[in-house]
Structure 1
Amino acid sequence: MYTATIDAPIEYLKGVGPMRADLLKKELGIYTYAQLLHYYPFRYIDRTRFYKIAELQPELPLVQIVGRITGKELIGEKHKKRIVAKFTDDSGTIELVWFQSLKWVDEHVERGKVYIAFGKPNVFNGQFSISHPELETYPRPQTLAGNLTLQPIYNSTEKLKKRFLDSKGIQQLQRIVLEQHLREIPENMPAYILEKYRLMSKRDAMLNIHFPGSASALQLAQRRLKFEELFFLQLQLLNSKKLRSLKFKGALFNTVGHNVNTFYKEILPFELTNAQKRVIKEVRLDTQRGVQMNRLVQGDVGSGKTVVALMSMLLANDNGYQACMMAPTEILARQHYESLTGLLGDKLVKVAILTGSTPKKQRSKLHEALESGEIQILVGTHALIEDKVQFQNLGLVVIDEQHRFGVEQRAKLWRKNQIPPHILVMTATPIPRTLAMTLYGDLDVSVIDELPKGRKPIVTRHLYEGQRLRMFGFMREEIQKGRQVYVVYPLIKESEKLDLLHLEAGIEQLRYQFPLPNYQISIVHGQMKNADKNFEMQKFVEGKSQIMVATTVIEVGVNVPNASIMIIENAERFGLSQLHQLRGRVGRGAEQSFCILMSGNKLSKEGKVRLETMVKTNNGFEISEIDLQLRGPGDIQGTQQSGVLDLKLADLAQDQVILAEARSTIIELFDEDPMLDHPKNSLLKSYLNKKNQGITFDKIS
């Protein structure tokens, strides 16, 4: 006979069976008893309060009443069939009504018996009733799970509910597992860490997260399980950073030579900010340690990341290495190429570009020049990772907007040299500190937190639909001064047709307000062919059109210093980080620039906060913190797709203190016991060895 354990397949649990097991796997990804236990309630209902029937009010959300079933009858025919029971306490009578599961109700709900009825009170014809109440016998039987003062509520799905696995059904399965297997739940945190942070044991935490003995027991259980989630996430990240430094040697960039010195002293047309100097110094120190550098450079749009990247690449060239820079789109790659060649001219080093549209003839020449070492800096898109692209001696890889590249794509670049090249990741999307710690916890983080001198902060205004004529007048004034204007419309996949209509209606309105021949309008949206898109963008870049009407395709990748106004239509439909990115398209020249947020008159509370935030501050890091509070981490930086943040309980916006505690504990732990050889850390060592699939600590000594 099969004896189930905590890791047993879910079909062996009493009350599940093959059909329900199949649904639990497909709908919730639950394959074992242990996975079921890690499916936590999303809220709790206080079951300590009992109401009298005379106290009921229609606005009460959920109530529980102790009473007796004094009558029960089947009413109606076919689909109108229902069971109605009279439910009485010493203050009055209400009706309990069931439209489904009538056979079960008929057989199990008994006249004359005392029950606890729980549900939402409704009023019909002046009479209170509760539809599909939860019924429990009174008094409640004592179980391992206690008397449920706080009832757990679980997310379910329509398919699960049809098989009676609604919240109550899932709760019942949790109770069975805990009653039979609570003792088997292993402790996975070292005793000294539990003691230091006064954390509940794993068993007590699992029992109290599903069936809290009290509100304070629930809080302690949540704290323990949140700490554990964040602790193990950080343990993996910091361990992989440590393993990489043990495993991957890095090229030594010991010389600051002719290229860096000449560029800095003779070519660079402006003075570096202190923040840029600090980051370049951090790169210098990283590349002298003989270990592969993995550094993230965060900086707002226009903070000067490209110059930092160029000086880092020139440092690689000074030490006999090539460098490459990978961007997610052709437009952005071309922009980087033009920025680099604009700064360098044809002096110092040879810079080339490789994208999907590079002609075949040109491509084969480029491959040769790259292999011979003639090309010292190569800029490109995904084309750089093709097997045909071979470097003579690649020493540094710069990756822009890295969240748009998969892990495997990035790893292909590392394999293009015997000694893995140093990695410099750049992002213009400021990331909240807590998110950076979790998303990029295995990277060293640099922040460029000041803008170049002479940059005027962009003035942001929020206007409603009724103020549109005022907005047109302002556009006219700026165009007459020789400036250019962006007008951006949202484009959200679910409603592309509708959005395109908005875009077309907007263009008609603009053509009426800004007629030919005095005004030229460029139009760019995602449904255009690439060649047409590039033609329209080029027209705007060269100043041949005054107004660029676009969807968010211009969020990244167009640099027009003469454009001084960014108008964002339906601004309430954009996320904060997207609004901030779009605003960063202007303010690139010496002139005062403006961002105008147009919205409808009716705004949601969240929409209002977003637009007020944009008007109030230009600081990308401040904006990113508010964005995290509003949206949660799953929507930011594509983390849901990346699977990095598979957090079941912890919330990065709310649990920053717990995250900081977990991270600092691991840093101290690795300082004291780098290989986790001490017996007190044996649990952590076996966890990591399991996670690293055979790359054990003992093999990397």
Structure 2
Amino acid sequence: MEKDLLKTPIEFLKGVGPAKADLLKTEMHIFTFGDLLTLFPFRYIDRSKFYKVSEIQSAAAEVQIKGKITSIEEVGQPRKKRLVAQFEDSSGRVELVWFKGAQWIRKSLQIGTEYVLFGKPNFFKGKYSFPHPELEKAEDFVKSPMGGLQPVYPSTEKLTNKNLNARGIAKLTKALLPQLKGVIHENLPVRLLEHYKWPSRQDALFQVHFPTSIEALELARKRLKFEEFYFIQLSLLLQKDRQTVQTKGHSFDVVGERFNTFYAEHLPFELTGAQKRVLKDIRKDTRSGHHMNRLVQGDVGSGKTVVALLSMLIAADNGYQSCMMAPTEILAQQHYNGLSELLEGTSTRIALLTGSTKTARRKEIHADLLNGQIDILVGTHALIEPVVQFRNLGLAVIDEQHRFGVAQRAKLWKKNAVPPHILIMTATPIPRTLAMSLYGDLDVSVIDELPPGRKPIKTVHRYDSNRLQVFGFMKEQIALGRQCYVVYPLIEESKSMDYKDLEDGYESICREFKRPDYNVSIVHGRMKPDDKDYEMQRFAKGETQIMVATTVIEVGVNVPNASVMVIESAERFGLSQLHQLRGRVGRGADQSFCILMTGQKLSNDARTRLETMVRTNDGFEIADVDLQLRGPGDLMGTRQSGMLDLKIADLAKDGQLLQLARREAEGALKEDPRLQKPEHAATKQFFIQKHKGKVQWSQIS
């Protein structure tokens, strides 16, 4: 019954009809009764409290006053007329102002009639006024079902024009709820409701729309947020169980000669405690006989690639091949160069396959893969082409995997009869709450130490007016034998403008840093790959002291001698990108610097981003701030589409509830892996309904 009623098209709700229904569909994606039920208010107004005019103290808060209109007049030029009314109660007088719709508003106002005024006051020239206030006759207000805590719903200009503003949507919801009495079924175990003293699902939904008290509202919101998180976590945990416990994996039983010889004779530095801990996690996974699906998070320069290499050597010791897939050719080339250097003098064979690989070399690689002559293949998405066949692929390492689509990653599974173990690496720190919701189906390891000898990068914010001082500082660093990056933003929508910025910047740098004392490289996305590579190599070899670039150098350049990163128009970058760019320096033993250049005018968000960068080098703290500023949808691309269709919960604010939901979901599945016990019947029923057609539920049916 619930399912059928909630699927009723919205046009059949009294007060909607075909025209309003079309608007609700296009503007708010409300197609059914169920969609309206889960359009939750974003705030509430307390309409039970009345103020006197004399009690208005601030222009910040909305107030409600009972009084009468004493005069109405139109003032201003004919084309810019505004309607001004005097409104007073026993304690004083305020002005009501309308800049639009003066004619029809004037007709609706009556002098001497008692009204309830609601709005946000403006304070100007020593007195308060109310622009476009809400007015309702006092006698109508008393009869209104909207007293007490009033919900405020999202709306749009088009909806408002059809009387479907926040108040209009509240009236529709008020009309809908009585029809749903007795048909909204519980979907959480009774044990949870009793333990946390939460209301039933029906009561929670009714209270969240029209709360009887602040306490009841808080409990309702908590329960509904928990519910959203709980079903996401159940889904992820069941998926994890299928991918690991129930999926057979290659068993890497030995740590043999390849690993031991490399570790003892070729590893150029002592591993950090964090690297050893992550390696232990991987070792445990790969010898369990189950399929490994592990995410390794670590800041730029924390040593993820070495951990991946050691894992691939364990695979080789057990007779298996490995591949490492990177999102760009530059990054694939960098991984190949770095790994080749480390493996020099060993018997491990490595190859590189990208879109640029010549046909003859490509054929050689294909043949060598099949006959087992290649142990490690590094490449881009060229690796997942059907023609690329391995003799025995045992481990797939995916770098910055959120840049690959689900379908692309799935193709790696099919490269072997038994799917290869999956090791995912990311230098984009993911906030704990986001990782738990996006990657809850993976095991997560964190490399939270930098290699010994690395100094934290000093970050400062400078305005354009300080440019000469910044140039002076760059000259000091170059005199010490160091190199500098100067990076300009590249925003897709305005490539031509950004290209001009880069050219202008390059010219001003060349004017300031004249030859023969200084040499300057330039790199941007419009250059041919060979030209780009040539300029990067000149910088890497120390033939140029300054590299002027767009964000093309966000990944792919590793120059330990570069100690200064100047980011132009830093306010135009996201926090994550600023942090990634900063990670291009600080790769050697010398003190490195990041200088964030901006104009004087900054938005509040931009200021927060810059202050965060100056305050901390901790990628996870930066990711948390980024989540607060941007929300989850913008952070991780499309990985979470569908998965994070959150209607009321907020990952940035509700981390504790998410952790609670994770714990409870883990507990439920540990005790009842297929949700077969009577107390989980309602949960299982709701779950299967929710995921129909999306997931195979043979495991729990």
Tell me if TM exceeds 0.5: yes
1:473 aligns with 2:472: yes
2-structure distance, mates of 1:436, 1:273: 23
* Contact 1:247-1:700 within 8 A present in 2 as well: no
Distance apart, 1:361 and its partner CA: 2.3
Distance apart, 1:49 and its partner CA: 2.5
Aligned position for 2:244: 245
Aligned position for 1:204: 203
Note the 1:630-641 alignment, pairs <5 A: 630-638=629-637
Aligned position for 1:215: 214
CA RMSD of aligned residues (A): 3.1
Aligned position for 2:562: 563
> Greater shift after overlay, 241-250 or 221-230?
241-250
Counterpart secondary structure, 2:288: coil
Q: Kindly provide the amino acid, as one letter, of the partner of residue 626 in structure 2.
A: D
Residues 646-669 of structure 1: CA deviation (Å, up to 9, x unaligned): 222222232221111111111111
2-structure distance, mates of 1:63, 1:518: 68
Q: Identify unmatched segments of 5+ residues in structure 2.
A: none
2-structure distance, mates of 1:614, 1:480: 27
Distance apart, 1:76 and its partner CA: 12
2-structure distance, mates of 1:389, 1:177: 57
Aligned position for 2:50: 50
Aligned position for 1:280: 279
Q: 1:183 to 1:110 in 2, by over 3 A?
A: farther
Q: Kindly provide the amino acid, as one letter, of the partner of residue 237 in structure 1.
A: L
* Contact 1:4-1:12 within 8 A present in 2 as well: no
1:29 aligns with 2:35: no
Residues 174-227 of structure 1: CA deviation (Å, up to 9, x unaligned): 111113223322222111111122222222221222222222222122111111
Aligned position for 2:139: 138
1-structure distance, mates of 2:354, 2:18: 52
Distance apart, 1:80 and its partner CA: 8.1
- The two structures have a TM-score, normalised by structure 1, of 0.91
Identity rate of aligned residues, in percent?
Answer: 57
Counterpart secondary structure, 1:638: coil
Note the 1:430-469 alignment, pairs <5 A: 430-469=429-468
2-structure distance, mates of 1:123, 1:260: 73
* Contact 1:634-1:640 within 8 A present in 2 as well: no
2-structure distance, mates of 1:648, 1:96: 36
Note the 1:330-345 alignment, pairs <5 A: 330-345=329-344
1-structure distance, mates of 2:400, 2:696: 32
Q: Identify unmatched segments of 5+ residues in structure 1.
A: none
Q: Kindly provide the amino acid, as one letter, of the partner of residue 693 in structure 2.
A: Q
Aligned position for 1:350: 349
Distance apart, 1:102 and its partner CA: 6.8
* Contact 2:115-2:135 within 8 A present in 1 as well: no
1:599 aligns with 2:598: yes
Aligned position for 1:271: 270
Counterpart secondary structure, 1:315: helix
Residues 35-90 of structure 1: CA deviation (Å, up to 9, x unaligned): 11111111222212323456668936533333457899999999889988886655
Aligned position for 1:62: 62
1-structure distance, mates of 2:157, 2:639: 23
Counterpart secondary structure, 2:181: helix
Note the 1:409-448 alignment, pairs <5 A: 409-448=408-447
Q: 1:175 to 1:615 in 2, by over 3 A?
A: same
* Contact 1:69-1:85 within 8 A present in 2 as well: yes
2-structure distance, mates of 1:632, 1:95: 37
Counterpart secondary structure, 1:566: strand
* Contact 1:689-1:696 within 8 A present in 2 as well: no
1-structure distance, mates of 2:603, 2:99: 37
2-structure distance, mates of 1:397, 1:561: 28
Aligned position for 2:383: 384
Q: Kindly provide the amino acid, as one letter, of the partner of residue 18 in structure 1.
A: P
Distance apart, 1:165 and its partner CA: 1.7
2-structure distance, mates of 1:651, 1:695: 25
Note the 1:571-582 alignment, pairs <5 A: 571-582=570-581
2-structure distance, mates of 1:656, 1:57: 36
Distance apart, 1:152 and its partner CA: 1.7
Aligned position for 1:15: 15
Note the 1:406-555 alignment, pairs <5 A: 406-555=405-554
Distance apart, 1:544 and its partner CA: 2.3
* Contact 2:402-2:639 within 8 A present in 1 as well: no
What is the total number of aligned residue pairs between the two structures? 696
Distance apart, 1:493 and its partner CA: 3.3
1:394 aligns with 2:393: yes
Residues 152-180 of structure 1: CA deviation (Å, up to 9, x unaligned): 22221222223222212211111111132
Aligned position for 1:589: 588
1:118 aligns with 2:114: no
Distance apart, 1:8 and its partner CA: 0.7
Q: Kindly provide the amino acid, as one letter, of the partner of residue 326 in structure 2.
A: A
Distance apart, 1:124 and its partner CA: 10
* Contact 2:66-2:138 within 8 A present in 1 as well: no
Q: 1:579 to 1:698 in 2, by over 3 A?
A: closer
1-structure distance, mates of 2:36, 2:79: 36
* Contact 2:400-2:426 within 8 A present in 1 as well: yes
Q: Kindly provide the amino acid, as one letter, of the partner of residue 470 in structure 1.
A: Q
- The two structures have a TM-score, normalised by structure 2, of 0.91
